[in-house]
Amino acid sequence: MFSNSTFPRLILGGFMLLNLVAVSAAENNRFISVTGSGQVSAAPDTAWITSGVVTQASTAVEAVDKNNQLTNKVIETFLDADLEESAINTSGFNVHPVYDHSQPSGGGSESLKPLAYQVTNSVTVKLTELDELGELLDQVIKAGSNRISGIRFGFNDNEALLDQARALAIANAHKKAQLYAGEAGVEVGEVASISETGARLPQPVLHRMASAQAMEAVPVMAGEQEISVDITVVYLIED
């Protein structure tokens, strides 16, 4: 067994050796540099829902009161679905006046009087039971949510999939190096350096819903998403 103080020396020694090999390759100008790519596709296991309530009234206080009542019902609906409070976050709150810009105003927009006040309150919810997503959206809309900004699918933990993609990228780089070396009539030697040049995680895919009030059933398909990693590997050419 190694002591705790041994590990830093081993790691440092490994880095020094790798750097020396890389310097040797650069000095001799006998190396093969290739890029490798690895991709992993999987069905998402997590969804993020942004649900909002928009209300309007003649005064700001009245509009806020109406909004609070409906927003509380929406949050209660999420909690009744056994979601933890930590999975529910307020993502936006806005109060603004509504003007009738069709009416002429000699003093400009500053002299216009508000016709009403509009309040928007949005919460973003993290859901890991995707088979319940459609039914939950239906319940939330019935509870009073009249703005579903979108649904984003992804993974609760990307690291395991990233590691799979990295392993595939290494294999892809080695395959390329072997091919190039074989065509050039040389042999692939030790690895001089490995650098990860990019990792692409699933981009937010928003499934927007134009008219939440008109929906009774919400069919949702998560599909598959891809995680990919690009690396650059430098191999020495054996003599």
Nearest to 124 by CA among 148, 86, 84, 90: 90
- CATH number for the domain that contains residue 124: 3.30.70.2970
196 within some domain: yes
Q: Quick: pLDDT tens for 36-80.
A: 999 999 988 999 999 999 999 999 999 999 999 999 999 999 999
Inform me whether the pLDDT recorded for 225 exceeds 70: yes
Structural domain tally of the chain?
Answer: 2
Shared-domain flag, residues 71 and 135: yes
Shared-domain flag, residues 129 and 195: no
Calculate mean pLDDT across residues 9-36: 60
The least confident of 1-15, 32-46, 54-68, 113-127 is 1-15
Domain with 36, as residue range(s), is: 25-43+157-207+215-238
Calculate mean pLDDT across residues 17-21: 49
Shared-domain flag, residues 148 and 234: no
Q: How far apart are CA 64 and CA 171, in angstroms?
A: 58
5 within some domain: no
60 within some domain: yes
**For residue 103, what are the CA distances in angstroms to 100, 167, 178?**
6, 65, 75
Q: Would you state the pLDDT for residue 201?
A: 81
Q: What is the pTM of this model?
A: 0.64
13 within some domain: no
Shared-domain flag, residues 178 and 199: yes
- Nearest 5°: CA angle at 207, between 94 and 124? 40
